[in-house]
Structure 1
C-alpha cells in the first residue's frame, strides 16, 4: 500500500474549471496536484467543443463547394474525404494538447494521468496510467469530473455499439445513412454536418419538436432548414427496439403518432443527453452528496456537503457549456480570495453551431409564459438585414423579449449567420442594464449582422400601462 502524501490542493479532473483552478493556485506558489483520467486539457479541446466546430466548418466548406455556382464559381465534381476531415481536426487537437502540456509544467504543479478514487474524506488513491498507485491527502479538493454521453435504456441499443459524438469525430469513412437518436443541440449539429458531407441523415426525436428548450417558432424554422438540406426528421418517436450493429446495418423500430415505423441505416449516433462521471469513485466515502441524477450537490458558491471540497462544471449541474464552466472557476477563485461571488442569476448565453447559427441569451417566450412574466415580443426576419442579403443567407430571424412595462431587455434569440457574435452584443447590454433604446440608437457598422438590431428595436410597440394606470 502506498504511503500517504500530503498536499495543499488536489484537483480531480483537468477540464475547463479544474485546469484554471490549478494554474491559478500554482501561480500563487501553492503546491497543487491535478489528476486527469485521459484528456490533457479536458473534453473541450480534445473531443467536444473545439473539434466538433472544426468538423462543422469542414462541412460548411463542403456545402459552399456544392453551391459554388450560386456565387458565380465554376467547379468540377467534389467529394468529401473523411480521412482528410479527421486529420485536419486531429492536427488542431494535437496543437491544443501541446499548449496544455506546457502550461501544466508550471512550477509547483504536478499533473498525473490516472484514475482517482476517494478512500476517505479528502483522501484519494490514484491508479496511474503509467502503472503504480499513489495515495494523496489534500487540505482542499476541487472536483471537475465532467459528464459522458447517456445511453437510453432501449432493447438492443447497447448491443448495436452506437457512435457517441466522441466516436463520430473520429470516423474515417462517410456513413451511407446515419440515424441520429436525439434532436437536441448536439444531435442537430452532427446531423447537418454529416448531411453536408454527403450522408443520408435521419433524426429521431422523442419530443414533439427539435430542441426542446427553444420556442416552437425557432424549432420549426430549424426543421424547415433541415428539410431544405434533405435531413429527415421524425418527431414524437419512441424507440421500441434496435437491431444490428452500427457501421454495418442497424434497424430502428419506433412508435410515432402516426403508427409504428421501421428505419434502416448504416450507422447510429446517440445524442440523447449526458450523465455525470460520479459513479464508482467513492464520493460517499468522502461525505460528498449527489442528487437523484448523480450530480454533485453544491450550494451557490459551488461548495459541496464535505468541508474543503468544491465541485465545478457539468458534474455539479452547471450549464453544460465551457463558458459556464470557466465562470465556475472564477467563482471559486474569487471566493478563495475572500470574495462573495455566486452562481445566482447568471446570464449564460449559448449558441448551437448549425448553419445558420441559433443563439439565445435570457428568456424565451415559452419560459416567460411558464413564469407568468408579461412581455412584449418583437421579431425581425433576416431578409430585413442587409448583411444577410449580401451573403445570400436570409433564412432565420431575430426575436427580442422586453418587459411589458419598461424598456428592459429580458431575452434575445437569433437564427442567422454569426448569431453567436450578435448575441454577445445584446448580452452586454443586458448585463449593463441598458434599455433597448440604447441598441436602437447605437451606430453599428454597415453592413453587419449587428446592424439588424437597429431595425429590430425600431419596431418595438409602446409599453403596456401598469394595472391601475390610465
Structure 2
C-alpha cells in the first residue's frame, strides 16, 4: 500500500471554484494538491460554457450572413462548413486549456491527474497509470461537478444520443435535430443549430418554455423560436426511442406521436458526480438527488470537508461557482462571507439574449412582496433600431415603498451586458432614480435604462 501524503489543502475536482481556490491558497504559502481526472480547467472551459458560446457565435454569424442584404451587403453562394465551425470551437477550447495549465504551473499547486475516491474518512486514493497515490489534507474540498442526465427509456442507450458534449464536437450538421428537453442547454443549442441550418424540433416535458420566468417572457421566447422555424412540442414526455442518433431516430412521446429526426440531443437536466467515490466512507451526506448537503459556509456533514460548485447544490453557473471560491477563501481567513442572499444573475444565450437578475413578478407575488412594474419595448431604443435588432423588451420591478430595484429582466440585444449595469446598482442599494437620471451614452443599448426607469410610477408616499 502506498504511503499517505499530507498537504494543507486537498481538492477533489478542478472546476472553477476548486482551481481558483488552489491557485489562491498556493500563492498564500500553503501546500495544495488538486485531484482531477483529466479535464484541465474544468467543464466550463472544456465541454460547457466556452465551447457552447463559441458555437453560438458561429450561429450568430450565420444569421447575419443570411440577413446581410438588409444591411446592404449582398452575399452570393455562401455555405456553412460545419467542420470549420467545430475546428474553431476546438481551437478556442484548446487555447483556454493551455492558459489554465500555464496558470496552474505558475501558481505552484500540484495537479494530480487520475480518478480519486475516498478509501478512508480523510484519505483519497488516486488511480494513475502504473499505480496509485493516497493523499490527505488538513482541509478537504469537493468540487465534483455534474454530468448530463440520460433518461432510462426503452431504446435510449442503443440510440447513442448526443449530450451537449458530443453536440459541440459535431463535424457534420444534423439534417433534423430532435432536442429532448427545453431548459437552458436545450434552448441554446437548439436555437444555435437552427441558425446554422438544421431543422429543429424540441420536446418540452412541461406545458410551456421557461417555466420559471414570467408569462410575458415565456411567450416572447416561444415566439422567437416559432419565428425562427423551431417546432416546440409541449407536454411531450418521451416514452421510448428507436434508431441511432446520426443515422435516424424516432422518439415516441406520451400521446403516442412519433417525432423523427436525424440526430437526438438529450438535454433533460444534470446529475451530480457524487456516486462511486466513497462519500459515505468520508461521512459526507447527500440529499435524495445525490447532491452534497452543505451549510451557508459550504461545510459538509464531515468535519473539515467542504463542497463547492454544482454538486453542492450551487446554481449551475460558473459565476456562482466562482463565488463559492470567495466563500471558501473567507472561511479560511476567518471572514464572514456566506452563500446566504446571493444575487446571482442568469443569461440565456439565444438570439437575442435573455438575462435576469433579482426576483421576477411570479416570485414577488408568491412571496407577497409589493412592487411597481415598468416595461419598455426594445423597439423604442434607438441603438436597437440602428442595429436592426428590435425584438424583445426590458422590464423591472421596484419596491412599492422604497426606490430600490427588486429585479430586472431583458430579452434583447446585449441583454447580459445591460443586466450587469442594473445588478451593480442593486448590489450598491442604489435607487432606481440614479439609473433613470444618469447621463448614459447615446446611442447605446444601455441607454434604454434611462427610458425604462423613467416610466416607473412614483412610490405611494411620493404620489401627492
Q: Shared topology, TM-score over 0.5?
A: yes
Matches within 5 A, 1:301-312: 301-312=297-308
SS at match of 1:104: helix
Residue 192 of structure 1 aligns with which residue? 191
Offset at residue 108 of structure 1 (A): 4.5
> Is the partner of 2:114 in helix, strand or coil?
strand
Q: Which residue of 2 aligns with 1:355?
A: 351
Match of 1:408 in 2: 404
Could you tell me how far 1:229 is from its partner in structure 2? Answer: 0.9
Extract unaligned runs of 5+ from structure 2. Answer: none
Please list the CA deviations of residues 375-420 of structure 1 after superposition, one character each: whole Å capped at 9, or x if unmatched. Answer: 1111111001111000011100001011122211100000001000
- Runs of 4+ deviating beyond 3 Å: none
Match of residue 66 from structure 1: 66
Distance apart, 1:154 and its partner CA: 2.5
Q: After superposition, where does 1:430-445 map in structure 2 within 5 Å?
A: 430-445=426-441
Taking the aligned partners of 2:132 and 2:47, their CA distance within structure 1 comes to 27
Question: Per-residue deviation at 1:111?
Answer: 0.5
Q: CA deviation at 1:219?
A: 1.3
Partner residue in 1 for 2:366: 370
- Pairing partner for 1:337 from 333, 340, 348: 333
Find the aligned partners of 1:135 and 1:452 in 2 and give their Cα distance: 57
Query: Alignment partner of 1:310: what SS?
Result: strand
The aligned length equals 464
**CA distance in 2 between partners of 1:399 and 1:270 (Å):** 32
CA distance, structure 1, for counterparts of residue 459 and residue 237 of structure 2: 44
Aligned match of 2:213: 214
The CA deviation at 1:265 is: 0.4
* Deviations 1:301-337, CA, capped at 9 Å, x for gaps: 0111111111000010001000010010011112201
Q: 2:401, 2:64 → 1: CA distance?
A: 45
Cα pair distance change 1:8/1:81, threshold 3 Å = same
Aligned to 1:388: 384
* Offset from partner CA, 1:71-110 (integer Å, 9 cap, x none): 1011112221111001101111111111111122246511
1:279 matched to which residue of 2?
A: 275
Between the aligned partners of 1:366 and 1:207, the Cα distance in structure 2 is 17
In structure 2, the residue matched to 1:463 is 459
Match of 2:11 in 1: 11
* Aligned with 1:423 (options 400, 419, 423): 419
Matched, 1:246 2:245: yes
Partner of 2:448: 452
The question of whether the paired residues in 2 share the 8 Å contact of 1:30 and 1:108 is answered with no
8 Å Cα contact 1:399-1:413 kept in structure 2: yes
Contact map agreement 1:14 1:144 (CA 8 A) in 2:
yes
Q: How much has 1:464 moved relative to structure 2?
A: 3.8
Counterpart-to-counterpart distance in 1, 2:375 and 2:122: 53
Q: Secondary structure at the match of 1:189?
A: helix
1:399 to 395, 402, 408: 395
Structure 2 match to 1:104: 104
Distance 1:190 1:108, change over 3 A: closer
Q: Deviations over 1:21-59 (max 9, x none)?
A: 110111112111111112100011111101110110001
Aligned pairs for 1:117-156 (under 5 A) are 117-128=117-128, 130-156=129-155
**2:168 equivalent to 1:169:** yes
CA apart distance, 1:222: 1.1
Whether the aligned pair in 2 keeps the contact of 1:184 and 1:212 (CA below 8 Å) is no
Shift of 1:465: 6.0
Alpha-carbon distance in 1 for matches of 2:130, 2:410? 50
Instruction: Determine helix, strand or coil for the equivalent of 1:429.
Output: helix
| Structure 2 match to 1:158 | 157
Matches within 5 A, 1:35-74: 35-74=35-74
TM-score when normalising by structure 2 = 0.98
C-alpha distance in structure 2 between counterparts of 1:250 and 1:267, whole Å: 6
Q: Is the 8 A contact 1:209 1:216 kept in 2?
A: no
Q: Which residue of 2 aligns with 1:33?
A: 33
Structure 2 distance, partners of 1:387, 1:273, is 37
Does the residue aligned with 1:294 lie in a helix, a strand or coil? coil
Secondary structure at 1:260 match in 2: coil
TM-score by length of 1: 0.97
| Structure 1 unaligned spans of 5+ | none
- Whether contact under 8 Å (1:179, 1:201) holds in the other structure is yes
Q: For the residues of structure 2 that align with 1:108 and 1:50, how far apart are their CA atoms?
A: 25
Return the alpha-carbon distance in structure 2 between the equivalents of residues 247 and 344 of structure 1.
45
Secondary structure in 1 matching 2:39? coil
RMSD, aligned CA: 1.4
Tell me by how many angstroms 1:463 deviates.
2.3
